[in-house]
Amino acid sequence: MSDFNAAAFRQHFPFFAAQPDWIYLDNAATTHKPFAVLETLDHFYRQQNSNVHRGAHKLSQMATILYEEARSCIQQYVNAAEPAEIIFTSGTTAALNQLAFGLMHTVLKPGDRILISALEHHANIVSWQLHCQRFGVILDVIPLDSQLQLDQSAFEQLLTLHPKVVSLTQVSNALGTVLPLASMLQAAKAAGAITVVDGAQGIVWDKPDLQQLAADFYCFSGHKLYGPTGIGVLYGKRALLERLTPLLGGGEMIEQVSFSHSSFNHLPARLEAGTPHIAGALGLAAAIRFISQFDVSQIKSYKRLLLKTFHDGLQHIPGIVVLSPWQDNAGIVTLNLQGEHSADVATLLNEQRIAVRAGRHCAMPLFDLMATAGAVRFAFAPYNQISEVEQCLKALTQAAEILAS
């Protein structure tokens, strides 16, 4: 049994009272928002709204203080060395694109190698690919073993090619696999690489300690951690952030501008051109304060209980083909009904008001490797109840019967 009170946790989320008929299992796409986040957004726009960093007036100064407090809150949560190492972005995608652009222009040279894994989301593939050809940089991929885990001996081999950057997801959004990140990052650092973590799914599974983890950069999105959409974080070690060429130019990020030349501001402003998502930053800090009230290890064991309930129930449904691992899984199960199209299964579940996602989950190369056209993804969050998993299993059983008839 788990000590975590999922029913009480759920009470913090008004969505479930507003949509009592729905079972929401699309949490890897985005999570719902607790009162604390919604009230922060509402309060900011109703009572505190002003732009940051530029006004001579008190309101702007107040908004600036709130915005910088939000940065410090996030810094403390992820244990970054200083607030300036937290760069606000619009999300993981924006963070990875800034990183790829910034490193290509400064650190990487023609012939250099970047190493990613076969489990990556498109955001951690395409953001590098966009520049590889132009800069003459080679993208290598750690393959999977027969268990769909990353092949660790192939990884060691690829490290002997001395990649300049190793960029890995913490948790596969497509399969739920939790990567052995600590050891892989250490090995990458020992091989001399700059290490990057796509924490989009990892941030809700584990609280990162960025002074412990051998990560030079860590990216995440607020909306997967009960925060607003349109806000995310690029964390980086100061010395490396300072080497990144800014992807966006404009107001705030400059020191001096003339028509022939511009010099850049200090961190974090240097990498935050334009008006930021101020309310979003405050909302993300509210989400972090909210989640900090709960015990991460209790939430983990509760998610394992949801997984076990799902696993046990699936054994009674004929024709289920599970792609996800059951060990070291962050609460995401991807599966198919043998011979059926994943979209058909998801459509039947949707008719029963069960929200899941079907398809290739922004991981087309992974699905190509698995020789699978797509799959249905069930992504659990701590506000999901055991009874919802049971209802979902019933709906899947019915879907299997309908499709077989």
- Binding residue for ligand PMP (CB under 6 A) from 40, 98, 117, 173? 173
Count of beta carbons in the 10 Å neighbourhood of residue 25: 27
Burial of 380 (0-12, 13-18, 19+ CB in 10 A): buried
- Per CB under 6 A, the segment of 19-27, 85-93, 328-336, 391-399 that binds ligand PMP is 85-93
- Tokens for 187, please give them: 């090995």
Question: CB of 92: closest distance to ligand PMP in angstroms?
Answer: 4
Between CA 124 and CA 198 the distance in angstroms is 7
- Binding residue for ligand PMP (CB under 6 A) from 31, 97, 167, 221? 221
Under rule CB under 6 A, residue 31 binds ligand PMP = no
DSSP string, 80-134: -SSGGGEEEESSHHHHHHHHHHHHHHHT--TT-EEEEETT--THHHHHHHHHHHH
Under rule CB under 6 A, residue 200 binds ligand PMP = yes
- Per CB under 6 A, the segment of 43-51, 59-67, 88-96, 340-348 that binds ligand PMP is 88-96
- Tokens for 219, please give them: 């990216």
Question: CB of 119: closest distance to ligand PMP in angstroms?
Answer: 9
Burial of 72 (0-12, 13-18, 19+ CB in 10 A): middle
- Tokens for 31, please give them: 């999570």
* Cβ atoms of 375 and 176 closer than 8 Å: no
Nearer to ligand PMP, 123 or 370 (CB): 123
Question: CB of 229: closest distance to ligand PMP in angstroms?
Answer: 8
SS3 152: helix
Nearer to ligand PMP, 66 or 379 (CB): 379
Nearer to ligand PMP, 194 or 200 (CB): 200
Q: Which residues pair with 320 in a beta bridge?
A: 337
Between CA 124 and CA 106 the distance in angstroms is 19
Under rule CB under 6 A, residue 237 binds ligand PMP = no
Nearer to ligand PMP, 96 or 269 (CB): 96
Q: How many residues bind ligand PMP (CB under 6 A)?
A: 12
Between CA 134 and CA 138 the distance in angstroms is 11
- Per CB under 6 A, the segment of 32-40, 159-167, 195-203, 367-375 that binds ligand PMP is 195-203
Output the CA angle 16-283-203, nearest 5 degrees: 80
- Binding residue for ligand PMP (CB under 6 A) from 75, 87, 112, 198? 198
Between CA 174 and CA 106 the distance in angstroms is 32
Q: Please give the residues from 91 up to 130 whose contact with ligand PMP meets the rule CB under 6 A.
A: 91-93, 121, 123
Question: CB of 201: closest distance to ligand PMP in angstroms?
Answer: 5
- Per CB under 6 A, the segment of 70-78, 87-95, 291-299, 310-318 that binds ligand PMP is 87-95
Nearer to ligand PMP, 173 or 329 (CB): 173
Between CA 211 and CA 80 the distance in angstroms is 6
- Binding residue for ligand PMP (CB under 6 A) from 98, 169, 329, 384? 169
Question: CB of 120: closest distance to ligand PMP in angstroms?
Answer: 7
Nearer to ligand PMP, 125 or 348 (CB): 125
Nearer to ligand PMP, 53 or 377 (CB): 377
Return the active site residues. 362
* Cβ atoms of 73 and 60 closer than 8 Å: no
Q: How far is residue 350 from each of residues 259, 274, 342, measured CA to CA in Å?
A: 56, 40, 12
Question: CB of 234: closest distance to ligand PMP in angstroms?
Answer: 11
Can you give the binding site for ligand PMP, defined by CB under 6 A?
Answer: 91-93, 121, 123, 169, 173, 198, 200-201, 221, 362
